[in-house]
Structure 1
Amino acid sequence: MAEKKLASVKFKNAGKVYYFSTDLLLDKGENVVVETARGLELGEISQELKDLSEFDLDTELKHILRKATKRDIDNFEKNLIDAQKALETCKEIVSRYDINMQLTKCEYTLDKAKIIFMYTSDDRVDFRELLKELATVFRCRIELRQIGPRDKAKVVGGIGTCGLPLCCSTMLGEFNGVSINMAKNQMLAINIDKISGACGRLLCCLKYEDDIYTQEKKRFPKIGSKVKYEGNDVKVLGLNVISDLVKIDSKNGVIFVSLDEITFDKNNNNHNNNHHVHKGKKNER
């Protein structure tokens, strides 16, 4: 019997990676069938297999059931079409009930033993009667899963302010905490409309450059501090980290000068008031 390996499996292009064990010979990009908490699913090997001995795992991993066959892949493709039809049917059924829920997406498990409806709602939804009707119509297990604004944007997709498809639906496997302090650290104007994404929450991309700004700002004087410029003490009013410029209040008025043109005591330079404290979900808007 072949040695068991660690397999990284994802279920969507921008989905989170899950780990399984396997003694199959599998290459990156191959489709496999696995059993998850949701049921039977088709996944894709996202990385080359690794030795289990390299990882200190707290829990026992589930095994990959098999390589996906042509029939598995055909069933998966057919389920995508059937799920879209089921979503429209469910929307029609929901419209007859006095409940506040907006259906977003529908998914079948590979064997169609279960159907999952994702929805958003501002209220707590009592859908006991709805579940009974859905079970009668679809004749399988029903799961109604409430998702948040970020998850909805990931599911629906769209175009960001950068002109590219949303990161959450193309490359982000999971969401990291984003805080308003990251915008402040990057010296962005705190205009919520401009620093919010399609989901209405803070832009995920605020996190991309935050560490770089924190590191680069160590080369600059603190805003409000005094520095030397042309032999005179001047006050620092602002920074342009990208262009290496410092905004100062000089005898000639407010001007931008190159960082190389001023002198200051870097040992006493402290940007703690601009440094964000990242505490994950608690800081997320």
Structure 2
Amino acid sequence: MGESIASRIVGVRFSKVGKVYHFDARKIESLRLGDVVVVETSRGWQLGEVVDIINDPVTPPEGTWKLLDRLATPKDLLQRQSWQAKELDVAATAKKRLHELRLVGVKIVMSEYSYDGLKLTIFFSSDSEDKVDLKSLRSDMQRVYTPAQVELRQIGPRDVAKILGGMGACGLEARCCSRFITEFSSISIRMAKEQGISLTPTEITGMCGRLRCCLIYEYENYVEARKLLPKKNKRVITPDGEGKVIDVSPIREMVLVELPEIGRKEYHKDFLKPVDELEAFENKANKTSGGHGGGGCGQCNHR
């Protein structure tokens, strides 16, 4: 189970690779990492696992932390398993009714009962960016699954990919979002450009149809490494003479330079000097020597 938790603020996860939510555990006297607890959520009463602790809690959301209700009992765990066994049938029924209603572009992803069976959430996705009207589907499902309160919840393509799992676009047997990503970050095309990755859609798009989450993994490293390298088309001095920067490899700290006599050749950044920097140094040196030289000659002529 792990070590006892001294703090009253704990992190709870409701699915294997789900987001961690924090709660006030003051109602529970003895609590350990790995314990299963009963919590009231927007999707009804749920069972979650204690996975985290905040030693120095930040300001709680909206002025207060939600309270954990109690530790789960063996009966609670069996009850949850019982309702989970019905979730596939619910999803199948929803898909069938969706087809009968001819709601094109809408897909049922999964269904989820609260652990006590009093709330049933059906997750769906849509090809349209606009809000989808599924009142008729909800009414039909409510009629079939009363007394549970039925809710239809739309989720995005990245959430769908996470739930369904499967092989990643890169060939890994399991997608990153299904293995360890608990919260999705904002990904931009700039991240691919910064890393010199081909902008071909198949190279940067995940199975969800969105930009791959992995584009952010090394992005900051590339940004910092690129600051130490000359920019493309800049003139630089190499051990073999002056040339123009054609390309850079930030992580390797290598620069590809075009030289008049040699052609293209790679150099480590430490062996390069920007032309403008060298010119500035030479101009400064010339001014200094010119000033002293003129003064000396004047004195000689005076004599």
- TM-score, normalization by structure 1: 0.86
1:5 matched to 2:11: no
12-21 vs 158-167, which deviates more? 158-167
Matches within 5 A, 1:149-164: 149-160=157-168, 161-164=170-173
How far the C-alpha of 1:95 sits from its partner, in A, is: 1.4
Alignment correspondent of 2:145: 138
Give the 3-state SS of the residue equivalent to 1:35 in structure 2: strand
Alignment correspondent of 2:295: none
How far the C-alpha of 1:260 sits from its partner, in A, is: 3.2
Alignment correspondent of 1:41: 46
Alignment correspondent of 2:223: 214
After the TM superposition, which parts of structure 1 deviate over 6 Å for at least 4 consecutive aligned residues? 265-268
How far the C-alpha of 1:87 sits from its partner, in A, is: 0.8
Bigger fraction of residues in helix: 2
Give the 3-state SS of the residue equivalent to 1:86 in structure 2: helix
Alignment correspondent of 2:96: 92
| Structure 2: distance between partners of 1:142 and 1:42 | 19
| Structure 1: distance between partners of 2:132 and 2:197 | 38
Alignment correspondent of 2:296: none
| Structure 2: distance between partners of 1:248 and 1:148 | 45
Alignment correspondent of 2:119: 114
| Structure 2: distance between partners of 1:108 and 1:77 | 10
1:166 matched to 2:175: yes
Instruction: Provide closer, same or farther for how the CA distance between residues 175 and 253 of structure 1 changes in structure 2, counting only shifts above 3 A.
Output: same
| Structure 2: distance between partners of 1:202 and 1:118 | 22
How far the C-alpha of 1:193 sits from its partner, in A, is: 1.5
Alignment correspondent of 1:276: none
Alignment correspondent of 2:132: 125
Instruction: Provide closer, same or farther for how the CA distance between residues 265 and 35 of structure 1 changes in structure 2, counting only shifts above 3 A.
Output: farther
Alignment correspondent of 1:190: 199
Alignment correspondent of 2:24: 21
1:257 matched to 2:267: yes
Contact 2:225–2:253, Cα closer than 8 Å, also in 1: no
Count of aligned positions: 265
Query: Which residue identity does 1:153 align to in structure 2?
Result: A
Instruction: Provide closer, same or farther for how the CA distance between residues 156 and 252 of structure 1 changes in structure 2, counting only shifts above 3 A.
Output: same
Q: Deviations over 1:215-239 (max 9, x none)?
A: 1112211111111112522100101
| Structure 1: distance between partners of 2:230 and 2:253 | 11
| Structure 1: distance between partners of 2:141 and 2:266 | 65
Contact 1:99–1:126, Cα closer than 8 Å, also in 2: no
Match of 1:66 among 70, 85, 103: 70
| Structure 2: distance between partners of 1:237 and 1:162 | 32
- TM-score, normalization by structure 2: 0.81
Contact 2:234–2:274, Cα closer than 8 Å, also in 1: no
How far the C-alpha of 1:202 sits from its partner, in A, is: 0.5
Q: Deviations over 1:22-44 (max 9, x none)?
A: 12222222111100111100111
| Structure 2: distance between partners of 1:56 and 1:149 | 32
Instruction: Provide closer, same or farther for how the CA distance between residues 159 and 266 of structure 1 changes in structure 2, counting only shifts above 3 A.
Output: farther
* More relative contact order, 1 or 2 (CA 8 Å, 6+ apart): 1
Give the 3-state SS of the residue equivalent to 1:153 in structure 2: helix
Query: Which residue identity does 1:66 align to in structure 2?
Result: R
How far the C-alpha of 1:59 sits from its partner, in A, is: 2.2
Specify every segment of 5 or more residues in structure 1 that has no aligned partner in the other structure, as ranges. 269-285
Give the 3-state SS of the residue equivalent to 1:181 in structure 2: helix
RMSD after superposition: 2.2
Query: Which residue identity does 1:256 align to in structure 2?
Result: E
